[in-house]
Structure 1
Amino acid sequence: MSVLRRPYVLFVALFLLVAGCSAGAAEPSSAPGGAAGPESAMWPSESPSALPPTSVAAVPAPPAEIPALGPQTRARIPAEARQAVVVTGDGADSNRSAISVYTRDDTTGWKSVAGPWAAHNGMKGWADHHVAEDLRSPVGVFGLTDAGGRLPDPGALLPYDESRRFAVSGEGFLGEPLDGSFDYVIAINYNRVPGVSPLDRTRPLGDERGGGIWLHVDHGGPTQGCVSLPEDRMTELLRTLDPAKHPVIVMGDATSLGR
């Protein structure tokens, strides 16, 4: 090679080197048929793993209901009620039952706050259509607005009528003494006028439908139609039931309440 041709060879080699670098920096091209080539698959913007994850909104749980109550019974509970005393009888003809207390929150629903407590109800069990002297407790949902008793007010939130007229004597169905049964009572708003003393004898449905159905102190045996529970539980109820929360009692045998 002559000396004159060396600059030409160096010029060609320099040109090829520069052209090769600029080609490597070119934008990635697609392979034939629209498929991305090996280089384009390496771009982060096109990588599936780089896409933002799809978020799924959590579905809030529905408000809790009182267990074992059927749709018909639940529908009878007023919308404004925030406290419920639930009395569940062992059977349609049984005089034994259990009591639980519930409170309701607008968001989370009903929650048990006390019980179950052992209780007594009518001697012959329960009745969907209670009448006087049938010795059964009425099935249904009733308001709890008024209280009273022979003993002084233990701290009741409901209006409380202290009176000697709540004194009772004699024997129950099992020969047990009835003394002290009405030391504390809460009137159940079955066939009565709300907002008056439990001693009021006004019967809006008529005398033949019975009345004077109360929650009262248990005397160790069945009742004529009331619901009875131990004295310490009665005082607990009196200090718990708040008229501002519109308390109700839901009562009946398990089958009736499950409807």
Structure 2
Amino acid sequence: MSVRKGAPALLGAGTLCAALLLTGCGSPAAPPAPAPTSAPAGDARPHPGPPARPSAPAPVTRLPGIGPVTHSAVPDGTSQALVVTGASADSPRSTATLYSRDPATGWKAQAGPWPTHNALRGWTADHTAGDLRTPIGVFRLGDAGGRLPDPGALLPYDRDEQFAISGTGFAGEPLEGSFDHVIAIDYNRVPGRSPLDKERPLGAEKGGGVWIHVDHGGPTQACVTLEREDLRELLRALDPAREPVVVMGPATELAR
């Protein structure tokens, strides 16, 4: 057989099979492995983001334990309040906590709680001289003083020997030293004067001279008492720029 020059040679059946066997035609050819792929730029598949931050708690707009009626008497400009909570309407024992108000977080405890005494017969919303009860309400705290030197008070402090006291209290305890440091509660008094000032705008029959003073270990006539070091801490903490007040009364009344 002659082969034309330039024409492809035709293989016989045997020759073709032999050629295929040499290249592995005796078993099916494995499919080609898929080429690795990479995610295109700007892959739209969702990716977990950073964990969501918890939302900030809402500011505490009311003093703890104080209800809307009582809180409505707290001046808008006040950002410091001493809350004195009586154990009951007739109890001479109570607890005091100093709170401060921050614009972002609201009211929070600044100092205390401290154990306190109040009047022998407890509390009243209509105080009169000699009733042996402490007035209930919200009153400003703006003036301080005492027999001993100023411990670092920010309030005006009147040091005077007239703050001396003697005698015994209702439980027979000595009263000496009770007025070493005092803070005047603005009940029936003229603000901006020494706690010793005796002018009574509501009349003498409504009592007066209601102070926060050093505890003597028993009930008072009408005042609220703190242990000596607790009172000194309070004197250093009260800031007249924050228009401090005392909110005081039995727990049931304060919660109204």
TM-score interval w.r.t. the shorter chain?
0.7 to 0.9
Question: How does the TM-score come out when normalised to structure 1?
Answer: 0.78
2:58 is aligned with 1:62: yes
How much does 1:110 deviate? 0.4
In 2, the alpha carbon distance for the partners of 1:78 and 1:61 equals 24
In 1, the alpha carbon distance for the partners of 2:56 and 2:75 equals 24
User: 3-state SS of the aligned residue for 1:145?
Assistant: strand
How much does 1:122 deviate? 0.5
Match of 1:137 among 117, 134, 139: 134
In 2, the alpha carbon distance for the partners of 1:217 and 1:172 equals 13
In 1, the alpha carbon distance for the partners of 2:67 and 2:239 equals 25
One-letter identity of the residue aligned with 2:58? P
How much does 1:57 deviate? 11
CA deviations 1:9-42 (Å, max 9, x no partner) are: xxxxxxxxxxxxxxxxxxxxxxxxxxxxxxxxxx
Task: Give the aligned partner of residue 254 of structure 2.
Answer: 257
The structure number with the bigger radius of gyration is 2
In 2, the alpha carbon distance for the partners of 1:121 and 1:177 equals 16
Match of 1:161 among 158, 163, 181: 158
Match of 1:113 among 104, 110, 113: 110
Task: List structure 1 segments (4+ residues) > 2 angstroms apart after TM superposition.
Answer: 56-62
Task: Give the aligned partner of residue 200 of structure 2.
Answer: 203
* Residue pairs, 1:19-34, within 5 angstroms: none
The count of corresponding residues between Structure 1 and Structure 2 is 217
In 1, the alpha carbon distance for the partners of 2:123 and 2:221 equals 11
In 2, the alpha carbon distance for the partners of 1:216 and 1:157 equals 17
* Residue pairs, 1:79-228, within 5 angstroms: 79-228=76-225
One-letter identity of the residue aligned with 1:143? R
Unaligned runs of 5+ in 1: 1-46
User: 3-state SS of the aligned residue for 2:225?
Assistant: strand
User: 3-state SS of the aligned residue for 1:84?
Assistant: strand
CA deviations 1:165-188 (Å, max 9, x no partner) are: 000011100000000000000000
How much does 1:62 deviate? 3.0
In 1, the alpha carbon distance for the partners of 2:202 and 2:57 equals 41
Unaligned runs of 5+ in 2: 1-43
How much does 1:131 deviate? 0.7
2:69 is aligned with 1:72: yes
Task: Give the aligned partner of residue 17 of structure 1.
Answer: none
In 1, the alpha carbon distance for the partners of 2:242 and 2:108 equals 14
What is the Cα-based RMSD across aligned positions, in Å?
A: 2.4
User: 3-state SS of the aligned residue for 1:232?
Assistant: helix
In 1, the alpha carbon distance for the partners of 2:228 and 2:74 equals 27
One-letter identity of the residue aligned with 2:181? Y
In 2, the alpha carbon distance for the partners of 1:202 and 1:70 equals 32
User: 3-state SS of the aligned residue for 1:181?
Assistant: coil
How much does 1:119 deviate? 0.5
Question: How does the TM-score come out when normalised to structure 2?
Answer: 0.79
Task: Give the aligned partner of residue 8 of structure 2.
Answer: none
2:235 is aligned with 1:238: yes
User: 3-state SS of the aligned residue for 1:252?
Assistant: strand
One-letter identity of the residue aligned with 1:179? E
How much does 1:242 deviate? 0.7
Task: Give the aligned partner of residue 4 of structure 2.
Answer: none
One-letter identity of the residue aligned with 2:161? R
One-letter identity of the residue aligned with 1:86? V
CA deviations 1:83-110 (Å, max 9, x no partner) are: 1111000000000000101110112100
